[in-house]
Each structure stands twice: as structure tokens, then as C-alpha cells.
Chain A
């Protein structure tokens, strides 16, 4: 159930609704699409109430559903041609088909397509009418890395051409790569919002000292690092021989750690450091328990 979600999505922007499964993302955008009747609150889509959208409003809005919504017995090209017929001035079909690589499977029935092919076809179906607003429910589900690259590139391009794009995802990486503005939804309410940088509390300058970072390294199992690093830095052995230290790490902390290694004759097999990810932000906000 969605009880307290308030959001604004603008033209020429990708707005992401980020949340765990069952957080209320799909319910929220289905109300915005007019697919579900809302029991309260207000929604304005291109200045109109989507609850009683007419054909004019529907022609300006493209929708890609989570389950695709494509008939299994249909073939991609005739299906797209059919949907294009519902619009007065649809996008050129050939270009869309080529761009999304649909020409490679244009005569295969939908039921025999791979997950990524289905997603690309569903995206084409959502775009064929040349919408001003595009809703994408979990657009990267089932996409292989090549398709993902293709789809993400197209989404960015459409955003740059002025389309307003609203997408839901439970993948932090999607939001981090695509979104201009992110709303984190948890248990039917939005709990945090901002640009990706704001949510990460990042400044443009990646080398600033006040960033939360995680240092990973692999060494002998069972080492005791008590007292080596300040108390604010959490150091854990995530599995035997794999350690991670998370916090506002300073150069002094790194020096202390490497000095301890030197003193104890420890040479890590590998080490890496990364800035805080959206996933960390998300887990901090909505908790780490599996629901």
C-alpha cells in the first residue's frame, strides 16, 4: 500500500523511483499512468488527472510495463505496426526497430524471445507513439550487458531531446547511471530524495576527505585489528580472510593500517577502495533486514 509518496518529474529529466520489491514503486507509477484507481491524493500528468485520461492524453504518454504486456503469439514487426496505427504521427518504425536491434528477431513470436529481446520490444512499443512522457517499470530486468548498454544509451538520448522519463528500479546501479533525480520509496512512502550526488553526499571533487569510503582487502583469516583504526571506522571480516573497513577514511588511517601490516608481516593478496554507493545509502535508510 502506498500512503505517503510525493514526487515531481520534469521534462528532459530521468526521475527514478528506487525501492525494494514490494515498496510501492509499481503501485505509484500505475496510479500515475491511470492503470490503477487511487483511493486518495492528487496526481497531475501533463496537467491532467490520469485517472480519467482520454485518448489525447494517452497518446502523449508511453508506458512500458514490468511484465511487458505483449501478446505471446504476436510477432514483433506486425505488432509494432499495429500499435503505430493507434497514433496519428508515430515514430518511423524502421529507425526504431533498427536502433533497438529488433530487426534481428522481427519474425519470431514474442513467446520465443529472450527476456532482453522482450524488454527491447516493449520499449519500442512504448516509444512508437512519440510520447512526451515515458514510464518505464523496471526497464533493465532481464537485459544482458549489451542490451543494457543499448537501452540506457537510448534513454539518455531521449532525455536529452526533452522527454520526461520516470522509471522504477530496485537496482542501485540503474539509478546511479541513469537518474537525474532519485526518490527512495520504502513501505509505501518516500523516505529520501535528491540527485544521486546529493544522496551520496558527494561533492564533485572525488578526492575530498569527508567522503565515506570502503576499503576491501584480503589477507590471512582471523586477524584482529582492534584499536588500529578510529572507532568511527567499522572494520569487519566479511568472510574468512576478506576484510572491509567503512567510514570517513583519512590518509592517516591508511598509514596506520599499512604500518600494522608491516609490523605483523601481513601482505594482503588484494586491496581496493571505493566511494559510498547508492546501495549503501539505500540500506542505511531502509534497513538491512530482508522483508
Chain B
């Protein structure tokens, strides 16, 4: 075989971007992931606009519904989708193999973050595009804080997803992240605001990442405001889950 001399790594940024691209394409090629990332959020959007559940919380049903749906998109991709794929990659030794290449462990994690952000960007494009056609009228001042909240929420949910994926079997990760997606989606204050939830859940959801992200996005897109409490809660989840993942994540 050809003798090639000198082994050297590609530059750090190139390695990370390549990995992010590869993981994003893998996510987008996965049918179940697409259902979770795009189809179910759109169905929830339709459901919330044809039922009177959100009446009285804002000027129109769709204006109240869309921010929560965007938050749901972040939870789908960062927590459930990314958690499940990481869990199975761990099972098949993919994480171990890639950590022996120049990519390394930090590159792997950076690549995952890029992949989550890239897929989330596509989700926002599609969901917001369809919502605008259906009559969504967000507060123009809400886009900047809204996108900031979305990224912060995605970061917190990514840390949570990695924590689950790195500590239990992939089958358990599959069950836990899907179950939590349904529970938090229905009762976690993400698409259905706290006032419309059963009594005991009303106060509790403010402290959940789902409730904080949902409320933070509603404050942004309904009123153009930054919800300081939601930012704080999401930061707290990010730090705690991130530290726990760093501490307990098992690579094999």
C-alpha cells in the first residue's frame, strides 16, 4: 500500500464541525427522530389551535400555542432524540472508538451540541414558518430573547439527555426519555401553561426545565419580555445536570 508519512490531526474546529454535521445528518435520516422532532410538535400545534384549552391566555390561541411548541421541539431534539442516540452509540462502542481518534471526548460532545443546534434551527424554521402561515403573530421584540431562551433550554435538555444516556442502559434511556417527553409535554408546563394544569402541578412546573422554557418563550413571543426567573431555573438545570453528567457519564 502507499506509504503515507506523518500523521497529524485536522484542525480542532474542522473536527468539531465535521462531527456536528455527521450527527445532524444521522438524526435527520432517522424516521422516528423526525416524527418526534417535527410531526408530533406540528400535531400538538393543530390540536391546541382547534380546541379551546388556551382560550383567555392571550390574544389568540395560536399566539399562546406556538412558543410552547417551539419549546417542545427543543425537548424532542436535545433530550429525547439526542439522549437515545447517545445511549445506543455508547452501547455499540461508538463513543469509545471516536474518542481514540483525534476527535476525542470533548470533540464528541462539541459535535453533539452543534448537531442539536443545527436540527433545532431547522425545526424552528419549519414550525415557525407553518405557524406564521396559520396566522401566528409574535411580538417582533421577542425573537432575540426567544432564540436565546431556546438555546439555553436546548443546552439544559442536552445535559439532561447526556446524563440519562451515560448512566443507564440504552433501552432504559429509550423508555425514560420517551416517557418524560410525554409527561413533561402534557403536564410539564411546556405547551400547556401552568394556569391550565391541574392544581398541584401549577406551582411545581415553574421549577421544571419544561415549564421554565415554555414560560420563557411565551413571555418572549407574547410580550417581547425576558423572563428572568425562567432563565435562572434553566441555568440551574444546565449546571446541575451538566456537572452530574461529567461526574457519572460512563463511556463504556
Binding site for B on A (CB under 8 A): 33-35, 54-56, 58-61, 63, 65, 67-74, 82-83, 85-92, 95-96, 99, 122, 125, 129-132, 154, 157-158, 161
Contact = CB atoms under 8 A, between A and B. Distances in A.
Interface stretch (B71-79, B94-102, B191-199): B94-102
Nearest to A58: B102
Interface stretch (B2-10, B45-53, B154-162, B228-236): B2-10
Contact of B99 (A35, A56, A71, A132): A35
Q: Which of B93, B102, B103, B104 has the most CB of A within 10 A?
A: B102
B92 A72 contact: yes
Interface of B: 1-12, 14-15, 18, 22, 26, 29-30, 88-89, 92-94, 96-104, 107, 251-252
A58 B96 contact: no
Contacts of B29: 73
A70 B101 CA distance: 13
Nearest to B101: A86
Contacts of A131: 7
B92 A67 contact: yes
B94 A71 contact: yes
A33 B93 contact: no
A34 B103 CA distance: 14
A34 B102 CA distance: 13
Given A69-B98, A70-B93, 14 more contacts: A35-B96, A55-B107, A59-B7, A68-B93, A69-B97, A71-B89, A86-B10, A86-B15, A89-B6, A91-B4, A129-B7, A130-B5, A131-B7, A158-B1
Contact of B97 (A65, A72, A85): A65
Q: Which of A68, A83, A85 has the most CB of B within 10 A?
A: A85
B3 A86 contact: no
Contact of B102 (A55, A68, A122, A158): A55
A58 B92 contact: no
7 contacts: A54-B104, A55-B9, A56-B8, A68-B92, A71-B89, A88-B10, A99-B1
